[in-house]
Amino acid sequence: MRFWPSIFVLILMRISHCSIVNIGDDKPIDPLNGRICGIGDMNKDGNTDLIVQQRTGSQNKLVIYLQSEGAEFRNGTQHIDLGKDGNDVFCNVGDFNGDSCPDLFIVSKIDDTSASFVNKIASVFSPRPPTRYQARVYLNGRNDNFVELPLCFKNSDSSKSDICTPYQFVDHPSLVDINGDGITDIIGFQAIMENSDKKCRYKF
């Protein structure tokens, strides 16, 4: 009677194998190059699109893959250049100008360590600087056209009013509609700037 459990296991494996293999007539989606950074209906056609970060050689960019009715993804026409920073970025979708089009909110970690070998060795024995993050907003102009919106504060000195210093956060900022006007607000803790008497505070 010991062989009955073995027969039961074999039957169960056979059934499970059939259920896994026989998944229907849907054709598999071709693999995409890169890591999925975010999702959203970027062209407002009712289909979920993919925001993919791709790193090829010295290139680091975001690519929008638009989904069609047939669940196929096509490469968008415009790519967002992320510069030479090789770190992973974090993407969110929100409406930052009230035009009902999904805009992009990109957060990246600020790397204070120089790429040189000597500086990397020195950083091991020196006090570790606090982690800081920088955020960028790209407004969706439709037709795969994204324009960067400066996310920064201006110097209180009127003589330097044209200087726009990017916000630096001590953690990932969050997106929320604070006042219910339909426009996405940004809330987060601002990092203390060097040679500044400002304390860590929240911004939105």
3-state class (DSSP) for residue 14: helix
Cα 84 from Cα 59, distance rounded (Å):
7
Picking from 114, 113, 112, 118, the residue whose alpha carbon sits closest to that of residue 132 is: 112
The predicted structure's pLDDT at residue 176: 92
The predicted structure's pLDDT at residue 139: 93
The predicted structure's pLDDT at residue 21: 38
Taking the chain, what is the end-to-end CA distance rounded to the nearest angstrom? 71
Cα 142 from Cα 138, distance rounded (Å):
12
Q: What is the pTM of this model?
A: 0.69
Cα 84 from Cα 57, distance rounded (Å):
10
Domain ranges of the chain: 36-203
- Are 111 and 87 a contacting pair, CB within 8 Å? yes
Q: Of all residues in the chain, what percent are helix, strand and coil, respectively (each to 5)?
A: 15, 40, 45
65-111: pLDDT as tens digits: 988 887 788 887 778 888 876 788 999 999 999 999 999 999 998 87
DSSP string, 121-172: HHHHHSPPPPPEEEEEEEEE-STT-EEEEP-EEE-SSGGGTT-EEEPEESS-
The predicted structure's pLDDT at residue 93: 94
- Are 119 and 132 a contacting pair, CB within 8 Å? no
- Are 173 and 147 a contacting pair, CB within 8 Å? no
The predicted structure's pLDDT at residue 109: 87
The predicted structure's pLDDT at residue 201: 46
Residues of the chain falling short of pLDDT 50: 8-24, 160-161, 197-204
